[in-house]
Amino acid sequence: MPKQPMDETPGANRRQFLAAGASAAATPLVAATLASETAHAQASSHPDPRQPVPVHLKVNDQDHRLMLDSRTTLLDALRGHMGMTGSKKGCDHGQCGACTVLVGGRRTLSCLTLAVMVREPVTTIEGLAGTDGTLHPMQQAFIDQDAFQCGYCTPGQILSAVACVTEGHAETDDQIREYMSGNLCRCAAYPHIVEAIKQAKTQMRA
């Protein structure tokens, strides 16, 4: 079965949709409520979905203002537009956890997050170490416990592990395994990852 090229958006449908939006904006009630958003209403009177949108991200305490295609995921923004390639693209479908970052302190899959939707500060693997280069206790623990082989899943594992401890979900080995199950490791370094989390937990609480 021939596949449609990606950019062959059903044009008629889009036109219908946009026409409906325009006619809705002409009714007085809607026009009145939109009056406070004049600039926005004007911008959307000729909307082109391919037009870049402004994106403001705070990553590792640094502000980044970008113009990006609305389809850009946080992962692609970090890797492709901000030069931070520590966050890894594994499956790109939210199944492997390699892209895990912290958003507002909560572990989040950056491959299933649109950059334009992010409103809270982002922490990536590049932002974990101290300014003097001292590794985060979790980074050091992964080294000490030999908690990786190929290393591809490691940035996601470490961010997820930091959150696992701060959430209070690292009380027992079983609990660590359960709450780290969203981070796959094809080298199967799992037992050492559990040991690393136990080591770092003590230091993170100190």
The residues of the shown chain that bind another protein, judged by CB under 8 A, are: 1, 3, 6-7, 9-10, 13-14, 16-17, 19-21, 24, 30, 33, 44, 47, 49-50, 53, 69-71, 73, 92-94, 97, 100, 106-109, 112-114, 116-117, 119, 160, 163-164, 167, 169, 177-183
Q: Give the DSSP letter of residue 92.
A: S
> Minimum distance from CB of 4 to another protein (Å)?
8
Strand ranges, E, within the chain: 53-59, 62-68, 100-103, 106-109, 122-123
> Minimum distance from CB of 178 to another protein (Å)?
5
Q: Which long-range contacts (CB under 8 A, 24 or more apart) does 67-72 make?
A: 68/115, 68/116, 70/114, 70/116, 71/114, 72/114, 72/115, 72/116
Task: State how far the Cα of 30 lies from the Cα of 130, in Å rounded to an integer.
Answer: 51
Strands 106-109 and 53-59: unpaired
Task: State how far the Cα of 185 lies from the Cα of 149, in Å rounded to an integer.
Answer: 9
Nearer to another protein, 24 or 143 (CB): 24
Nearer to another protein, 43 or 143 (CB): 43
> Minimum distance from CB of 47 to another protein (Å)?
5
Nearer to another protein, 112 or 135 (CB): 112
Nearer to another protein, 40 or 205 (CB): 40
> Minimum distance from CB of 200 to another protein (Å)?
17
Question: Which one, of 110, 126, 107, lies nearest residue 118 by Cα?
Answer: 110
> Minimum distance from CB of 50 to another protein (Å)?
5
Nearer to another protein, 135 or 204 (CB): 204
Question: Which one, of 80, 201, 192, lies nearest residue 143 by Cα?
Answer: 192
